[in-house]
């Protein structure tokens, strides 16, 4: 049986919601792309990019040469260049943007962790802000989340209509229940061995979310 969870509507303020919604991706129908941001307790920030298609380790000149040699469409070459830039640590969100989001909602996240799993609080190490774009045909299989995730928060961003997060009684997918997609709705839970869930886009549009996690490097070892 699923543990207690929280659904909170109109979670992000307008400035933050719009800044996430306006981020541009080139995600293909069966793929996913993620802008990754980590904020540690000591204030250190790490920024990266991850894609189901992988990212290039070549220079910009190498990428343009490869595109020309293989007669790749211009849009394919440009996406490879953007992925290369992302690998170097670029993000549409500046460090100031990331700090602003973190400072605005951190107390609420900690309060939710205290409410849902107070025994995990001492293991908190860093916050993860992932802007996730799933292609319209992408399906993420049933899973329960890794043990180093202390609090998982999925905030639906865009479009207006899509698929939410589906909860299950067990790994086989018994008794599905969906947390309906509503833009700016936050779905909040603390994982355990029963938090089986999956998500997918609706086959019509890409699915944009902000995944806001409190994580640890220790809890999974205990």
Distance CA 83, CA 58 (A): 11
- What's the whole-model pTM score? 0.84
In a domain, 181, yes or no: yes
The tokens describing 70, both together, are 């293989």
- Find the mean pLDDT for residues 84-108: 82
Q: Give the residue carrying structure tokens 């996913």.
A: 32
Tell me whether residue 41 is in a domain: yes
Q: How many residues does the chain have?
A: 222
- Closest Cα partner for 211 from 34, 1, 73, 68? 34
pLDDT of residue 120: 95
- Answer yes or no: is 64 within a domain: no
Whether residue 66 is contained in a domain is answered as no
Q: Judging by DSSP bridges, how do beta strands 207-215 and 126-134 pair with one another?
A: antiparallel
Over the stretch 173-192, which tens digit does the pLDDT of each residue have? 999 999 999 999 999 999 99
Residue 84: its pLDDT value, please?
Answer: 57
- Note the pLDDT of residue 49: 82
Residue 81 forms part of a structural domain: no
Q: How far is CA 30 from the centre of its chain?
A: 17
Only one residue has tokens 């992932």, namely 130
Q: Which residue has the higher pLDDT, 95 or 81?
A: 95
DSSP SS3 for 20: helix
Q: Which residue has the tokens 């018994």?
A: 174
The whole domain housing 208 covers 6-54+89-221
Which pLDDT tens digit goes with each residue over 32-51?
999 989 999 899 998 888 88
Rounded to an integer, the average pLDDT of 88-103 is: 85
In a domain, 74, yes or no: no
Condensed to tens digits (0 to 9), the pLDDT of residues 109-159 reads 999 999 999 999 999 999 999 999 999 999 999 999 988 999 999 999 999
Tally of domains in the chain: 1
Does the residue 148 lie in any domain?
yes
Dist. CA 172–CA 168, nearest whole Å:
8
Q: Is residue 67 part of a domain?
A: no
Rg, the chain, Cα only:
18
198: domain CATH number is 2.60.120.620
DSSP state of 122: G
Q: CB 94: neighbour CB atoms within 10 A?
A: 11
């Amino acid at each position: 049986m699923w543990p207690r969870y929280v659904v909170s509507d109109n979670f992000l303020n307008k400035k933050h919601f719009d800044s996430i919604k306006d981020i541009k991706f080139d995600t293909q129908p069966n793929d996913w792309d993620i802008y990754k941001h980590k904020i540690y307790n000591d204030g250190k920030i790490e920024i990266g990019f991850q894609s189901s298609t992988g990212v290039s380790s070549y220079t910009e000149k190498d990428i343009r040469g490869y595109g020309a040699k293989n007669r790749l469409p211009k849009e394919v070459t440009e996406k490879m260049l953007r992925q290369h830039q992302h690998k170097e640590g670029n993000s549409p969100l500046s460090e100031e943007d990331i700090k602003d989001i973190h400072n605005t909602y951190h107390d609420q996240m900690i309060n939710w962790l205290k409410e849902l799993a107070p025994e995990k609080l001492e293991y908190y190490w860093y916050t993860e802000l992932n802007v996730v774009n799933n292609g319209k045909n992408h399906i993420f299989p049933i899973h329960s989340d890794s043990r180093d995730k202390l609090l998982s928060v999925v905030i639906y961003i865009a479009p207006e209509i899509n698929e939410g997060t589906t909860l299950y009684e067990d790994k086989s997918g018994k008794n599905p229940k969906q947390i309906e997609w509503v833009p700016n709705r936050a779905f909040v839970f603390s994982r355990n061995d029963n938090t089986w869930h999956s998500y997918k886009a609706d086959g019509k549009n890409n699915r944009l979310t902000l995944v806001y996690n409190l994580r640890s490097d220790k809890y999974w070892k205990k």
